[in-house]
Amino acid sequence: MLKTIRYLIVLFLVAACNQESPFSRLIKESNTFDILISNGSVVDGTGSPPYAADLLVRADTIAFIGKVDTSLIDYKSLINANGKVISPGFIDTHAHGDPLFGGEMHNFISMGVTTIVLGQDGSHPNRTIDGKDFGLISWMDSLERKTPQLNVAMFAGHASIRRSAGVAYTDTPTEDQLNDMGDILYEAFENGCYGISTGLEYIGGMHAKEEELTYLAKIVGENGGIMMSHMRNEDNDQIEASIDELLSFGKYCSVHASHLKVVYGKGEDRANEILNKLIGAKNEGIKISADIYPYLASYTTIGILFPEWAKTQEQFDIVKASRKNELEEYLFNRVNLRNGPEATLMAGNQYAGKTLAQAADESNRTFVELLMEIGPRGGSGAYFIMEDSLMSALIAHPLTMICSDGSPTMRHPRGHGTFARVIERFVIEREQLSLSETIRKMTSLAATTVGIEKRGEVKPGNYADLLIFNPKDIKENATYLDPYQMASGFDHVIINGVEVISNGAIVTNRPGRLLRKNQ
């Protein structure tokens, strides 16, 4: 009996020794590769600890991860990653900008972003240029032909759908208009959109009632998509009601709280109250997720300071003539509630880079008089209305992923610095997050949430969206006064197997793709 056992063990060992390794099988097919990344520390995006490995890229795909015998292969390009991390490219779940008409997207690439999710806050591309209509579908087709600098995933915007269906700013669509909205959303899914976005604090979105949003949420659920929402009100005394509204649509589809924040809220305990609400819903079977940016100032149009009854230019002109004193009192109270005129940094007008208080003083007006002059369409601003311990607790929680809510032109550092800032501040300086967990929040969690396949994780067979960097070298650089400085420290950025940053310098390639859901 003992002899038989020994014999079986020997047979097993011989078979194991004769078994081909994955590397051997790979090079039998072909021993030629486009990129060899050697001696790196792989942080794969799953949250697992780093491990030492080489990596081979063939065409647009990760072909192999492990120990590479360089004597057995040919490769076109070598990247020595000794002392550096190899991670998936970051996925920005809430971004802005127009890669078709809006110029370069270097701001995203420089902070390690290889995929952006556009069509946010209820608005998707919809414009006419030289007599040609660029609605969402034609815009997507045109972008695909052009090939973007980085990967782009699209959402259909709720307010844009409303306008296309002729609903405009009226409160309730007719039955025919609602059916038209549904048809437009179905068409968006047929053409590869990942879901619908809402901007319930903005014109168009703010008028939508439960019946309308429920109807659309059911279509989103039928198509396996997700409803991403700039919720109706993010103020401390309204945030629970806004979350409840979002969760009510979670009965029909996956739901997502965009750029989660608690305006005027303070403290880690307050953050935990909000997080526990989301976790409780998740435990009850609702597919709820959230993203967040690492800044204490929001950014949007000056219209955020104006009441619902004076948001549009037409409304403002009427109110200014008939209810001027009432509007002035509202603006005075609203701005002071939002930490005063010193807490609003102007942008998009002649006062850019100055606080509302500074702009008012320099023009010899009160801040209310200045707002009455420029109106709700008179620019944008950064609003310092969040508190650090609360926002840090939200950022550190495993439920949340990272987004920039930024663009190439936005006068806010989040458009150029977000992902670098998270590494620099929360991993290196504060040690509040591990690098592995941080990368997970920027990659696989985002990919799984949105529904982006074969990205967000370093593994064979996935697309080669990759970063090579030393975490200690990562710098945000952008500031509120100089928001357009590029992030630095990402030595190599690879998108679909092509380097777009090489040795820290941007290379003029356009290897990005329009990503289409289920296509």
Q: What is the 3-state secondary structure (H, E, C) of 363-419?
A: CCCCHHHHHHHHCCCCCEEEEECCCHHHHHHHHHCCCEEECCCCCCCCCCCHHHHHH
Using alpha carbons, select from 165, 239, 167 the residue that is nearest to residue 201: 239
Taking phi over 0 as left and psi of -120 to 50 as alpha, with beta for the rest, 203 belongs to beta
DSSP E strand stretches across 5-107: 32-42, 51-58, 61-66, 74-80, 85-88, 90-92
Residue 311, exposed/middle/buried by CB under 10 A (0-12, 13-18, 19+)? buried
pLDDT for the residue 154: 98
Reported pTM? 0.92
Taking phi over 0 as left and psi of -120 to 50 as alpha, with beta for the rest, 491 belongs to alpha
Distant-in-sequence, close-in-space partners of 507: CB < 8 Å, separation ≥ 6:
499, 500, 501
Cα-to-chain-centroid distance, residue 161: 21
351, 367 Cβ separation under 8 angstroms: no
Q: Is residue 59 part of a domain?
A: no
Q: Is residue 349 part of a domain?
A: yes
pLDDT for the residue 19: 63
Q: Is residue 368 part of a domain?
A: yes
Report the 10 Å Cβ neighbour count for 301: 18
Question: pLDDT-derived band of residue 387, with 50, 70 and 90 as boundaries?
Answer: very high
Q: List, for residues 57-108, the tens digit of each pLDDT value.
A: 999 999 999 999 999 999 999 999 999 999 999 999 999 999 998 889 999 9
Q: List, for residues 35-67, the tens digit of each pLDDT value.
A: 999 999 999 999 999 999 999 999 999 999 999
pLDDT for the residue 4: 43
Q: List, for residues 411-438, the tens digit of each pLDDT value.
A: 999 999 999 999 999 999 999 999 999 9
Q: Find the mean pLDDT for residues 300-329.
A: 93
137, 192 Cβ separation under 8 angstroms: no
Opening angle at CA 68, ends 64 and 70, nearest 5: 125
DSSP state of 235: B
CA distance 197 to 164: 15
Question: pLDDT-derived band of residue 15, with 50, 70 and 90 as boundaries?
Answer: very low
In order of 21, 134, 302, 312, 373, the CA distances from 347 in angstroms are 58, 28, 9, 19, 15
Q: Is residue 380 part of a domain?
A: yes
In total, the chain counts a number of residues equal to 519
Using alpha carbons, select from 127, 125, 111, 114 the residue that is nearest to residue 154: 125
464, 494 Cβ separation under 8 angstroms: yes
Residue 54, strand partner residues: 66
CA distance 111 to 130: 35
- Per the listing, tokens 């004597």 go with 71
Q: Is residue 316 part of a domain?
A: yes
Q: Is residue 478 part of a domain?
A: no
Q: pLDDT > 90: what percent of the chain?
A: 87
Q: Find the mean pLDDT for residues 171-176.
A: 92
Q: Find the mean pLDDT for residues 227-254.
A: 97
Using alpha carbons, select from 286, 326, 292, 291 the residue that is nearest to residue 306: 326
Distant-in-sequence, close-in-space partners of 405: CB < 8 Å, separation ≥ 6:
94, 95, 96, 120, 258, 259, 293, 299, 414
Q: List, for residues 462-509, the tens digit of each pLDDT value.
A: 999 999 999 999 999 999 989 999 999 999 999 999 999 999 999 978
What value does the mean pLDDT of the chain take? Answer: 93
Count structural domains, the chain. 1
In order of 155, 210, 213, 230, 450, the CA distances from 120 in angstroms are 7, 20, 16, 8, 13
Taking phi over 0 as left and psi of -120 to 50 as alpha, with beta for the rest, 348 belongs to left
Q: In which domain, by residue range, is 326 found?
A: 299-384
Opening angle at CA 355, ends 350 and 361, nearest 5: 80
In order of 258, 419, 484, the CA distances from 148 in angstroms are 24, 20, 21
Q: Is residue 293 part of a domain?
A: no
pLDDT for the residue 296: 95
pLDDT for the residue 17: 47
Q: Is residue 370 part of a domain?
A: yes
Residue 228, strand partner residues: 197, 256
Residue type, 12: F
pLDDT for the residue 14: 36
